[in-house]
Amino acid sequence: GAGVSQTPSNKVTEKGKYVELRCDPISGHTALYWYRQSLGQGPEFLIYFQGTGAADDSGLPNDRFFAVRPEGSVSTLKIQRTERGDSAVYLCASSARGGTGFLNTEAFFGQGTRLTVV
Amino acid sequence: AQTVTQSQPEMSVQEAETVTLSCTYDTSESDYYLFWYKQPPSRQMILVIRQEAYKQQNATENRFSVNFQKAAKSFSLKISDSQLGDAAMYFCAYRSRETSGSRLTFGEGTQLTVNP
């Protein structure tokens, strides 16, 4: 696609429910990132995929959070037993590839999913 | 671990004037990248300008320029001839060049208001 697409744009769920957030990266981008942005804060890293595998999941806050990218394209962030503290904007970004090089590692962001847990 | 600090939660500028947003960071690495991102109400993070740490020359992109002071670990953004469309949240961000994965570490952000 032309840009990174995230669905839904907004999601309201009840405490304790399960939610899935979807990210469709730019076509051909092998690296994909999830960030969480709480109100009034900068985004915080959650997880990084290189292809189908999670190369770095050290930012996931606990085992209620899980993400997959089974075919190396679309990714889904899954949150179990949601808590009010999970309310935030979840941003997805993709880049042509990961690693340390410069020219192909610019990250392009989607517009995020605003999750509200009531 | 790296940290990024933006000490100005809010800034305002008159249209056509110049404003400077501050950013400091802490790292033990010598090779890295620094970025300024703009986030309008649409929530999409837009890259404004980037700097490679090994380059002494300050990056410039049209009306946007940076003052990169590596020894002081300072990376400020100057916006010249401010326009109404520049109003947004601005984030300073760090990315290591020494480790793979390329995660971004963001500051807390500065909300910029442009007054007509």
pLDDT tens for each residue of A33-75: 999 999 999 999 999 998 999 989 999 999 999 999 999 999 9
* Cβ contact A80:A94 at 8 Å: no
Q: What is the pLDDT of residue A99?
A: 62
| Identity of the residue in A42, A98, A109 whose CB atom sits nearest the CB atom of B101 | A98
Q: Are strands B46-52 and A31-37 parallel, antiparallel or unpaired?
A: unpaired
DSSP bridge pairs for A19: A79
Q: Are strands B24-26 and A44-50 parallel, antiparallel or unpaired?
A: unpaired
- From first to last of the 116 residues of chain B, give the pLDDT tens digit: 889 999 999 999 999 999 999 999 999 988 899 999 999 998 999 999 999 998 889 999 999 999 999 999 999 999 999 999 999 999 999 998 877 667 899 999 999 999 99
Sign of CA dihedral A113, A116, B2, B7: positive
Query: How large is the average pLDDT for residues A84-109?
Result: 83
Q: What percent of chain A has pLDDT over 70?
A: 92
Tell me phi and psi for residue A42, to 5 degrees.
Answer: -80, 160
Give the residue numbers in B contacting A (CB under 8 Å), as ranges. 4, 33, 42-47, 50, 52, 91, 93, 95-109
DSSP bridge pairs for B32: B96
Closest CA to B48 of B103, B4, B88: B88
| Identity of the residue in B96, B99, B106 whose CB atom sits nearest the CB atom of A43 | B106
Measured distance between the N- and C-terminal CA atoms of chain B, rounded to whole angstroms: 41
> For all residues of chain A together, what is the average pLDDT?
92
What does the DSSP 8-state code read for residue B86? Answer: G
Question: Which chain A residues are within 8 Å of B47, Cβ to Cβ?
Answer: 106-107
Q: What is the pLDDT of residue A66?
A: 97
Closest CA to B89 of B34, B15, B11: B11
The position carrying tokens 């769920």 is A13
